[in-house]
Amino acid sequence: MKIIYSEKHKLRDAKTELHGGELVKPFEGPFRAEWILEAVQSAGFKDVSAPADYNLDVAMKVHDRGYLEFLATAWDRWAAEGFAGEAIPVTLPVRRTQMARVPRNIDGALGYYANSVETSISKGTYEAVLSSQSSALEGADWLNKGNRSAFALCRPPGHHAGIDTYGGYCFINNAAVAAQRLLHHGAKRVAILDVDFHHGNGTQDITYRRDDIFFASLHGDPVDAFPYFLGYADETGEGPGEGFNANYPMPPGTPWSIWSQALADALVRIKTYGAEAIVVSLGVDTFEKDPISFFKLTSPDYISMGAMIAGSGVPVLTLMEGGYGVPEIGLNVANFLKGIESRG
């Protein structure tokens, strides 16, 4: 299996995250990719290469141009104001607020484009974001050459990034960009399967009114879990996208025996839809020891998960999303890739 990994992810090394009323060391840091890379190589996945540098042409088809311009300039604008810390919004547009105008001041622009406020923008963030989306695009191009699988070790992750919003450690939506690339290559229908613990609210925002991308997300019930405001089962798409959005919210303590039933249903729907490829938003924060999640999957479950998805019979591009704080995240990713390969 092709493993795509960029050292440039290390350029995003934020020092602050708003959590529990305090500024703490972020749960999402360079160590995550390093643990994962070491584990997948130890498991025998040796074909590791860096992506080419891709531009934003594909990203502009799924994200707002003004938002992408904001990402490119946010840190420099923040630093130019002379602020000592990392960039975190202090004010947000709320219900019944006039939202059509982007504030000129960087403080206001941060709030306009944020969908959550735990995620700081730090020096090097934008360069790392570009390398992350390049890894996703390289993976899509690898499938387009006739290959059956690839794993893009994307960091920062992407599934909380919406059309014009960032948050949840995400800035460009790698899964949506990869799906768009596959469509550009000639696929008529692509599925994005989000198995991260947290709902892919950004991906849903991008795909909700589209019929060429089927989106399925298995996640913690939004009444209990971040990002809270999307991910209910009655959200099924809108307009041309009606029927092409499937959410599977599940309660605290969900084990593999229950979680896997949701996966089986999602895979049936993806097959019925006629997807020609599956982009997997892989989060291993469904693991029983994850510090910011509440599902109870165990390490062997990820082998079964990969095998079930590979059993769909279509090419699979796996992109890294969440999984935090425990060394087993590497083992769990390696196990998932073993499951993908077990079906050839």
Q: Name the β-bridge partners of 191.
A: 214, 278
- Among 174, 166, 165, 262, smallest CA distance to 220 is for 262
Which of 160, 198, 199, 219 is catalytic? The answer is 160
198 catalytic per annotation:
no
**Helical (H) or strand (E) element with 36:** helix 30-42
Q: How far apart are the first and last CA of the chain?
A: 10
Task: Report the C-alpha gap between 197 and 118 in whole angstroms.
Answer: 17
Give, in degrees to the nearest 5, the angle at Cα 228 between 236 and 70.
90
List the beta bridge partners of residue 190. 213
Q: Kindly state the greatest CA–CA separation across the chain.
A: 55
Q: Quick check: 245 and 235 in contact, CB under 8 A?
A: yes
Strand partners, 218: 248
Q: Round to whole Å and give the CA distance between 145 and 168.
A: 33
Measured distance CA(254)–CA(251) in Å, rounded = 6
Element (H, E) at 17: strand 17-19
Which residues 6+ apart lie within 8 Å of 184 measured at CB? 58
Residues taking part in catalysis: 160
